[in-house]
Amino acid sequence: MKRLIIFIVANMIMLSAWCQTALFFNNGASVYMMPGSYMIVNNDSLHNSQGLIQNAGDLRVAGDIINDPGALLTGGPVTSTGLYDIGGNWANSGTFTAYRDSVMLNGPTTPGGIQLITGTQISAFYDLILAGTPGSSKAQTINATVSNILDLRTDELATQQNEMLVLNTSPAAITQSGTQPAIGYVSSLGNGTLSRATNSTSAYIFPTGTPSALVSSTTPFYYRPIDFSPTNSASNIYGARLVDNPDSDTYLVEHYDDSLCKVNPHYYHRLYHSGGGSSANLTMYFDPAADGYWTDMAHWGAPRSNKWNYMGTSNEGSGYGFTSVEVPNWSRFTPDPFALAAKKFIVNAGPNQNVPIHETVQLNAYISTNPSNISSIIWAPDTFLSDNTIANPTYNAIQTTEYIIIVTDQAGCVARDTITMSVLPDILLIPTAFSPNGDGKNDLFRPLNPNLKTLVFRVYDRWGVMVYETDVIGDGWDGTYKNMKQDLGVYVWQAQYSLTGINETFTASGNVTLVR
């Protein structure tokens, strides 16, 4: 059973008129709270001005905890766990040794207030717990570290321009409560960041979001986590923060390399690698309904400056209730802006085709993106097709038609291609005149159907003499008979033929004029 202890120590509790800053004012005493002890400073603050306070029990302060230069604020023995439960600010300007204790920021005590981690000295927390009103904000005015667990619960940790470094290399060192959008997250400004030490190939979450102080009717709130998965178990330190509107930071989303089609205009991340040399698999998470659909990632300024550059083949997935994009084995973190993006894709409608009249053939367009990423397919015109909204419709050869296929992906990127489907008639295609003068133009008289399957072709002069005969498709009369050039004039031709795709033999005849 815990004991409630009220201390009255000379030179420790000062309530004189010259000291109005705290109800509990330690002016040089040594205060030890043993395991199981319980102490409350109600409705005011605790000020450790010159002495020592060592806490292995439960110390609950409604207001601030202020630790001055020269003072020592510590946890209990290494095997014990003390709790600092604070409703106001944590202000450390002296020496703070955490051992295995927990600091719980259990405020703010005023509506709309912000609870601060402040002072002039970096606080090295063991466990840091964000509590109090769900959705409240805790803000840093100085760098801080956590050597065990950073428990965000449902609150915002606003690092501002500072760093929160989680030294515990366990992937589970950051915990959250709640669900999107009421979930714990970390926000940063400027060069501020959430950093994590790693020593495994597991996924380390960086639960980043928009600073609540910036959220307005024109600046929406985004909670969009990042995962770093190092490619080996060496020691590394990675960092991340989410930033609203890349255009406002001059990282213009309309400036991208030839591989990309689009860059996320809503937000981007700044990613850092401040310790170690291992590459990492980067995973970005997004909400397709709110953010649009993305298939890839882009990195600003490298290797081509002043534009977003494609980061290579990515893997699509999901997690934390979001859709995700992963780029494996990434090692270049300078410059530090990274964004979701969509890669250009190609459409190939296939080669032009000659199709016998009334035959049906299946078109088979190649589309170089994942089928799940396709938003729409349109063939135009939609005549003579079984379905103009799929990649492989059936074409009915009634009339020669040029088609264009237009494919749009879920990011709004568009690719298109054309194909001509030529109808081959069932009549013989043959000229009415030819000029065998050796100029390489129209020197042979022959049927021109590209779909001839069999052919017997004869030519007669005006007296009925057969001057030419062939059954070889592609051969033609050169205007001679027995190696003698024939007279100009009209000749009669006859043909028996069959066409590819048509199980019938046709006969035809007509006249041709020989000119030179």
- Any idea which architecture 433-514 has in CATH? Sandwich (2.60)
Nearest to 153 by CA among 187, 195, 189, 104: 104
**How far is 150 from 126, CA to CA, in rounded Å?**
9
Q: pLDDT class for 16, splitting at 50, 70, 90?
A: very low
Digit-coded pLDDT (tens) for 169-212: 999 999 999 877 789 999 999 999 999 999 999 999 999 999 99
H/E stretch holding 280: strand 280-286
pLDDT given for residue 504 in this prediction: 86
75 CA to centre of own chain: 43
pLDDT at 463: 94
pLDDT value at position 351? 97
Contacts of 20 (CB under 8 A, 6+ apart): none
Interval 303-312: pLDDT, tens: 778 999 999 9
Q: List, in order, residues 6 or more apart from 461 with CB less than 8 Å away.
A: 467, 481, 486, 491, 492
- Output the six-digit token pair for 283: 């995973």
Rounded to whole angstroms, how far apart are CA atoms 333 and 300? 10
The tokens describing 380, both together, are 């135009």
- pLDDT tens digits, residue range 472-507? 999 999 999 999 999 999 999 999 999 887 888 999
CB 240 within 8 A of CB 292: no
| Angle CA 58–61–64, to nearest 5 | 135
Domain spanning 347-424: which CATH class is it, in words? Answer: mainly beta
DSSP-assigned states of every residue in 343-380: E---EE----EEEETT-EEE---EE-S-GGGEEEEEEE
| Residue 20, pLDDT score | 43
Confidence of residue 239 (pLDDT cuts 50, 70, 90): very high
Per domain, the residue ranges of the chain are 3-343, 347-424, 433-514
Q: How confident is the model at residue 7 (pLDDT cuts 50, 70, 90)?
A: very low
**Does the pLDDT at position 382 exceed 60?**
yes
Please give the radius of gyration of the chain, using alpha carbons only, rounded to the nearest integer: 40
Residues with Cβ within 8 Å of 131's Cβ and at least 6 positions away in sequence, in order, are 104, 105, 106, 153, 155
Which amino acid type is present at position 412?
Answer: G
pLDDT averaged over the chain? 92
Strands 505-514, 433-434: pairing kind: parallel
Which of residues 373 and 200 earns the better pLDDT score?
200
Q: Tens digits of per-residue pLDDT, 89-104?
A: 999 999 999 999 999 9
The band of 109, judged by pLDDT with boundaries at 50, 70 and 90, is: low
Q: What pLDDT, on the 0 to 100 scale, is given for residue 4?
A: 41
Q: Which residue has the tokens 């959250």?
A: 176
- Looking at per-residue pLDDT, the higher value among 77 and 271 belongs to 271
pLDDT value at residue 503: 84
pLDDT above 90 coverage of the chain, percent: 82
The total number of residues shown for the chain amounts to 516
